[in-house]
């Protein structure tokens, strides 16, 4: 194994699945600007996840993946003017 390639600044971090509120604590070097106070009274860095094993279709057995962030709607609202302009050019 190569020496001096692994980080040494591991700390306890809370990961939170934003689709269902599931949280778990593990050691990580993941950067975080937010913190959360857990049941043990201590405050930990918080890393928000879009999906975890408690909400992923492979682990839950559900075939449908729910888009919690509304990515399609965000895309359509962001590029609405561009899409309409393209349609108008194509119809000419």
Question: What tokens does 68 get?
Answer: 């919690």
Supply the pLDDT for residue 64. Answer: 56
Comparing 91 with 25, which gets the higher pLDDT?
Answer: 25
The answer, yes or no, to whether residue 84 has pLDDT greater than 70, is yes
d(CA 54, CA 24): 11
Task: Considering only residues 63 and 17, tell me which one the structure prediction assigns the higher pLDDT.
Answer: 17
pLDDT of 67 above 70: no
In the chain, what are the domain boundaries? 11-91
What is the SS3 assignment for the chain? CCCCCCCCCCEEEEEEECCCCCEEEEEECCCCCEEEECCCCCEEEEEEECCCCCCCHHHHCCCCCCCCCCHHHHHHHHCHHHHHHHHHHHHC
Task: Summarize pLDDT for 6-57 with one digit per residue, the tens.
Answer: 888 899 999 999 888 899 999 999 999 999 999 999 999 999 998 888 877 6
Contact 28, 11 (CB under 8 A): yes
């Amino acid at each position: 194994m190569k020496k001096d390639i692994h980080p040494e600044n591991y700390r306890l971090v809370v990961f939170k699945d934003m689709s269902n509120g599931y949280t778990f604590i593990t050691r990580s070097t993941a950067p975080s600007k937010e913190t959360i106070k857990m049941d043990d009274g201590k405050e930990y860095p918080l890393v928000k996840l879009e999906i975890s094993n408690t909400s992923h279709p492979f682990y839950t057995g559900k075939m449908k993946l729910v888009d919690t962030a509304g990515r399609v709607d965000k895309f359509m609202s962001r590029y609405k003017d561009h899409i309409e302009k393209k349609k108008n050019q194509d119809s000419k």
